[in-house]
Amino acid sequence: MAYDTNNIFAKILRGEIPCIKLYEDAHTLAFMDIMPQAEGHALVIPKEPAITLFELSDEAAAACMATVRRIGLAQKKGLGAEGIVLMQLNGAAAGQTVPHFHIHSIPGSIAELRNPHASVMADMAHLQAVAEKIRAALG
């Protein structure tokens, strides 16, 4: 399947759709998931267009992991999370719903995931407040 430049994450990267940004550098963007599975659920995406890990360059994959580590540490510090669930799905058959590579960074434990993936829209004011805690922990 060819990369769809009109997927929601591509539109976020182009600034066509807003997001609650946590962190951005030359290679990645981290932002709050608007349909979180748990408090503080964030997404990390590469700026490079790729649907799955297997289409992503080694450089973009490494940049994503560095950002995931940074976000996870901030979630632990800012939200007092004891654990972080990292989830990454490759292809629709695996449950991937947005055709742009992304990694979920979810504070808590796998047993605490309260909502099914992409099912309940968050209150934006609450999401913004949680994002402030994570951003403050980023320094």
What residues are labeled active site?
A: 102
- Strand (E) positions, 13-123? 21-24, 28-32, 42-46, 84-87, 103-107
Start-to-end C-alpha separation, the chain:
39
Alpha-carbon distance of 69 to 105, in angstroms, equals 9
**Tally of CB atoms within 10 A around 129:** 10
